[in-house]
Structure 1
Amino acid sequence: MSSVSLDLAYPFARLPFAASAVIIGLLSALYLAYQWALPKPLPGIPYNQDALKTILGDAAELQQIKKAGGRPRAWINLQTARHNSPLVQAFLAPLSKPILILSDFRESQDILLRRGKEFDRGPRHLENFSGVIPWHHICMSTSNPQFKANRELVKDLMTPHFLNTVSGPEIYSNAQNFIELWKLKAQLAGGRPFKAEDDLHTMTFDIIKVVALGEGDNQSMTVLYTDLVRSTVSKSQDAPGALDEPFAFPENKPNVDLRAHIAQQEAVGAAATQPFPGLFHKINNRKSAMKEVYAAKFSMLDRQVSLGTKRMEAGAEVKSALDYMIQRELASAKKADRAPVFNSPSMYDELYGYIGAGHETSSTTLQWGLKHLAADQRVQNILRASLRAAYAEAVSEERQPTFAEIIKTQVPYLDAVVEEILRVSGPVRTLFRSATVDTTILGHHIPKGTQIFLPVTGPSFTAPAFPIEESLRSPSSQSHKKTMRGTWDESNAADFVPERWLQLGEHGGTHAFDSQAGPMLAFSLGIRGCFGRRLAYLQLRILMTLIVWNFEFGSLPEELNSFDAVDSLTTKPIKCFVRLAEAQ
């Protein structure tokens, strides 16, 4: 072998022995460190083989999806189908344990409802929110003593008394403002479609803000925008072939409070797809734009809490969530023999979280709901006829149903439509838990600290369930088999069919709504189930009643009727347009 070949084959041969040994040692250490850093799968659970070839794990594929404009959250929910298994594992961040994805309603229900000592809210989920509202109970583990204290602070807000005397009337009143806006737009658009999401987003913020804080010092953005449309837009002159062209109304610009709120919601949504959500928030919160957002947030809360304490001192009637929380803090302070604190981090974050949860989820659900009604004229017509039949007196008197009538009257088909919207197109598509002890899922050993993702769409929800041997299920799941919800006809599980929630009444009479008809986890379950569930149902019931009572939703051209989604804090439609005519 020539000296040249020797040099190429043995690059360290001409170096001093000590130097060669150091370099070889460093390279060996780097190689061993790289091997150590590669993902380590749990035995027996399917995973993507390519994820083991890089320290990024599946994050490498997720980065490519994000660059291409795709949806990382959708990737997560597709993994069980990809591996044809109800339980798979994925590697979402370097140097981290695998996360598990469980797509099975029965086991998910069991974990949420009966296995609270084994599973709690996962740290990744807590980090998603803690960068924005760290003192809200959603950011706390169930074992955290502050969790119980925070829930005590807000426990009055979901009582029937508060919902029916404060929340409901405000929802109804603000809905009237919205109906007026859309009647004006329907007249001006002349049968042409127009963009709807901003109007819905603004209206639901108007509602939840006044329910949370009281009348305060801000006028309804929906009312202000209606005045703007009325003063700046002339009636449409339809041109041949232009009926499907969207009518362009002035932009419905958010005020400073809503802008700040949107920025924080977007920050939570962005954190959810980051390898390290907590680190993302630390960096993002240092940006000057986010500092301005937080300044606006605390300015609003300071102002509203000051107004709330003045109302209390004046002996005014309790008319908001803030008023109830002030009373609750007064009672707690008296019991503990201390001075009340109305501007505590817990007070502020619980208030702001209440606004956020009640706003974004309701807005998103309404957007999906109106899209489904426009796409399925059969369902829309049955729903409107059901409302007309239920409120026959309102029909005869040529008026809308009153708030009192809405909360006292059962309309099974309305309940079925709302439930089906939440099932097929719920605003939250995945729930999160973490193993607090070594445990098992479907016969597999799950180490303490393993995070579990629970999709609420896909197999066993909107697609056929995976076959699972009964012996692999948890003991509590097996023992409650006879008390399970019903199951869907798997041949149409993905379709929008409200009738699946209805059953014949006694003796074959009128159809009755059955909330247990089949798999659904839109609000989660157990002690960590959605705190605002009752408010959400009340709001959707009132708004869907009044909107469908007043408007017919015409079919839309294909390019405006896409059901493609985008992920932020919630999963919402990319496009939400409506073509309105006043209902006859």
Structure 2
Amino acid sequence: MSSASLDLAYPFARLPFAASAVIVGVLSVLYLAYHWALPKPLPGIPYNQDAVKTILGDAAEIQQIKKEGGRPRAWFNLQTAKHNSPIVQAFLAPLSKPVLILSDFREAQDILLRRGKEFDRGPRHVANFSGVVPWHHIAMATSNPQFKANRELVKDLMTPHFLNTVSGPEIYNNAQNFIELWKLKAQKAGGRPFRAEDDLHTMTFDIIKVVALGEGDNQSMTALYTDLVRSTAANAQDASSAGQDEPFVFPENEPNVDLRAHGTQQEAVGAAATQPFPGLFHKMNNRKPVMREAFAAKFSMLDRQVSLGVKRMEAGAEVKSALDYMMQREIASAKKAGRAPVFNSPSMYDELYGYIGAGHETSSTSLQWGLKHLAADQRVQTTLRESLRAAYADAVSEGRQPTFAEIIKTQVPYLDAVVEEILRVTGPVRTLFRTAAVDTTILGHHVPKGTQIFLPITGPSFTTPAFAIEESLRSPSSQSHKNMRGTWDESDAAKFVPERWLKTEDDSTQVFDSQAGPMLAFSLGIRGCFGRRLAYLQLRILMTLIVWNFEFGPLPEELNSFDAVDTLTTKPARCFVRLNEVK
């Protein structure tokens, strides 16, 4: 071998022995450290083979999906089908434990409802929210003593009394502004489609803000926008000069400072969900001017509204908002503890703000999906409208829409079925999260303490056929509750079929059956969605009034695709409506 070849083959040969030894040692340590840092799979659970060849794990593929404009969250729901297994593992961040993805209704239901001591909200879920609302109970583990105190503070807000005397009437009254707006838009658009998401987003914020905080200094953005639309000339938008499928463009409805700040913070929570380290993301993101402005607007709004609430309380005014109820609860707690009440505590503020956030984003998203389903399936829309008119015969005969009192007192099984099917097929939240609080097992696999569990609530056993699982692999509590819910033909589980939620009684009447099949849109157990009753009430009222007043015409395919985007919730990429007013 030549001297030149020797130099190329042995690059350290010409260095002093000590220097060569140090370099070789450093490289060896780095090599060993790299292999030590590679993902360590749990035995027996499928995973992506390429993920264990890089310290980034599956995060490399997820980040590539994000760069290409795809949906990182959708990746999780595809993994169990990809591996043909109800449970798979994934590696989301360097030097971290694998997470498990479990796609099976029965085991998910069991974990949420009966295995609370084994599984709790985990650090990743807490980190997703704690960067924005650290003092809201959603950002706390169940074992956190503050969790119980916070739930005590808000426990009045889901009682029938509050829902029927405060929440419901405000939902109904604010809906009238929205109906007026869309009647005006239907007239101006002349049968052409127009964008709907901003109108729905604004209307639901108007509703939840007044329910949460009271009238105060609140102005309905929907009412203000209606005035803008009414005063704006159509110009070249005249319906006769364009094709009937060409969208009619209305002036933009600019959000006020409260909605703008709210949206910025909601987006931050949604963005954190797909970050390898959500807590670190929030620390960096919260330094941005837009976030500092959003936080300042949040505290300004809450300071102002709490001051107004104190004035109402001192004047002996009627309790008419979530804030009023929470202030009364705080007075009672303070008296019991022998201290002065505190109305501007971090818990008070974050519970109020979280109440607004949860009640707004999920309702807006659910309505958008619901109207898309009605436009795409004219049979369901017609059946729903006929069911409503049969249920409210007095309103039909008197030429009016149903009153709030009529809506809450009258059972309309098909309406309940439509709402449930919207939430089942296209719910605003598609995945639930838990973390193993102790060493445990899932489907016969050892799950170490601290392992995060992702529970998709679409896909296998929900909207596609379930995996075949040996009964002996299920937990004892799952086996003993095998028939807790009904089942249906899985071959059409992905289709939008409200009738699957109806059953016929002995007297041939149809009733709504909430236990007809797999459904986890609101989770279950102690960490089930706190606002479930409010969500159902809001959807029932709004769907009744919207379908009563409008027909939703078919849309061209490009305007009614069911493509989705992920923010805090999973919402339609595009939401258009083609309205005809029902006379």
Please say whether Structure 1 and Structure 2 have the same fold, judged by a TM-score greater than 0.5: yes
Amino acid aligned to 2:120:
D
Counterpart in the other structure of 2:575: 576
Counterpart in the other structure of 2:7: 7
Counterpart in the other structure of 1:129: 129
Counterpart in the other structure of 2:509: 510
Distance 2:251 2:563 in 1: 25
1:233, CA displacement in angstroms? 3.1
Q: Per-residue displacement from partner, 1:303-356 (whole Å, max 9, x unpaired)? A: 000000110011000000000000000000000000000000000000000000
Counterpart in the other structure of 2:384: 383
1:205, CA displacement in angstroms? 0.2
**Residue aligned with 1:380, SS:** helix
Q: Per-residue displacement from partner, 1:287-315 (whole Å, max 9, x unpaired)? A: 11111110011000000000001100110
1:237, CA displacement in angstroms? 2.8
Distance 2:569 2:519 in 1: 17
Equivalent positions of 1:191-230 (< 5 A) are 191-230=191-230
Distance 1:268 1:506 in 2: 49
Q: Per-residue displacement from partner, 1:456-510 (whole Å, max 9, x unpaired)? A: 000000000000000000011011113x211121110000000000000223x11
Counterpart in the other structure of 2:562: 563
**Residue aligned with 1:101, SS:** strand
**Residue aligned with 2:545, SS:** helix
- Contact 1:233–1:249, Cα closer than 8 Å, also in 2: no
**Residue aligned with 2:562, SS:** coil
Counterpart in the other structure of 1:259: 260
Is residue 2:159 matched to residue 1:153?
no
**Residue aligned with 1:258, SS:** helix
- Contact 1:375–1:561, Cα closer than 8 Å, also in 2: yes
Is residue 2:437 matched to residue 1:426?
no
Counterpart in the other structure of 2:520: 521
Distance 2:388 2:78 in 1: 38
Taking structure 1 as the reference length, the TM-score comes to 0.99
**Residue aligned with 1:495, SS:** coil
Counterpart in the other structure of 2:63: 63
1:7, CA displacement in angstroms? 1.0
- Contact 2:424–2:519, Cα closer than 8 Å, also in 1: yes
Distance 1:233 1:379 in 2: 36
Counterpart in the other structure of 1:238: 239
Which deviates further from its counterpart, 2-11 or 522-531? 2-11
1:238, CA displacement in angstroms? 2.6
Amino acid aligned to 2:551:
E
- Contact 2:194–2:577, Cα closer than 8 Å, also in 1: yes
Equivalent positions of 1:25-424 (< 5 A) are 25-234=25-234, 237-239=238-240, 242-424=243-425
Is residue 2:511 matched to residue 1:540?
no
**Residue aligned with 2:514, SS:** coil
Q: Per-residue displacement from partner, 1:61-85 (whole Å, max 9, x unpaired)? A: 0111011100000001110000000
- Contact 2:432–2:523, Cα closer than 8 Å, also in 1: yes
Distance 1:142 1:391 in 2: 44
Q: Which runs of 5+ in 2 are unaligned?
A: none
Q: Per-residue displacement from partner, 1:512-568 (whole Å, max 9, x unpaired)? A: 100000000000000000000000000000000000000000000111011000000
Amino acid aligned to 1:520:
M
Distance 1:353 1:506 in 2: 44
**Residue aligned with 2:446, SS:** strand
1:193, CA displacement in angstroms? 0.3
Distance 1:237 1:123 in 2: 55
**Residue aligned with 2:435, SS:** strand
Amino acid aligned to 1:10:
Y
- Contact 1:213–1:321, Cα closer than 8 Å, also in 2: yes
List 4+ stretches of structure 1 deviating above 4 A: none
Distance 1:45 1:364 in 2: 35
Distance 1:99 1:418 in 2: 32
Distance 1:283 1:192 in 2: 44
Distance 1:348 1:252 in 2: 28
Distance 2:225 2:457 in 1: 36
Amino acid aligned to 1:170:
E
Distance 2:452 2:381 in 1: 41
Amino acid aligned to 2:455:
L
**Residue aligned with 2:239, SS:** coil
**Residue aligned with 2:215, SS:** coil
Distance 1:218 1:474 in 2: 51
**Residue aligned with 1:350, SS:** helix
Identity of matched residues, %? 87
Amino acid aligned to 1:551:
F
Q: Per-residue displacement from partner, 1:166-216 (whole Å, max 9, x unpaired)? A: 000000000001000000000000000000000000000000000000001
- Contact 1:438–1:448, Cα closer than 8 Å, also in 2: yes
Counterpart in the other structure of 1:475: 476
Amino acid aligned to 1:56:
L
Q: Which runs of 5+ in 1 are unaligned?
A: none
1:241, CA displacement in angstroms? 5.5
Which deviates further from its counterpart, 449-458 or 7-16? 7-16
1:5, CA displacement in angstroms? 1.2
Root-mean-square deviation (Å):
0.8
- Contact 1:487–1:519, Cα closer than 8 Å, also in 2: yes
Distance 2:546 2:326 in 1: 32
Distance 2:60 2:356 in 1: 36
**Residue aligned with 1:544, SS:** helix
Amino acid aligned to 1:352:
Y
Distance 2:233 2:165 in 1: 37
**Residue aligned with 1:100, SS:** strand
- Contact 2:210–2:218, Cα closer than 8 Å, also in 1: no
1:239, CA displacement in angstroms? 3.3
**Residue aligned with 1:239, SS:** helix
1:240, CA displacement in angstroms? 5.9
Distance 1:413 1:67 in 2: 43
Distance 1:170 1:313 in 2: 23
**Residue aligned with 2:526, SS:** helix
Taking structure 2 as the reference length, the TM-score comes to 0.99
Distance 2:32 2:233 in 1: 69
Distance 1:531 1:428 in 2: 14
Amino acid aligned to 2:538:
Q
- Contact 1:428–1:522, Cα closer than 8 Å, also in 2: yes
- Contact 1:188–1:233, Cα closer than 8 Å, also in 2: no
Amino acid aligned to 1:231:
S
Counterpart in the other structure of 1:490: 490
Distance 1:138 1:233 in 2: 46
Distance 2:498 2:412 in 1: 13
Q: Per-residue displacement from partner, 1:268-288 (whole Å, max 9, x unpaired)? A: 000001000000000000111
Q: Per-residue displacement from partner, 1:333-386 (whole Å, max 9, x unpaired)? A: 000000000000000000000000000000000000000000000000000000
Distance 1:301 1:259 in 2: 15
- Contact 1:105–1:460, Cα closer than 8 Å, also in 2: yes
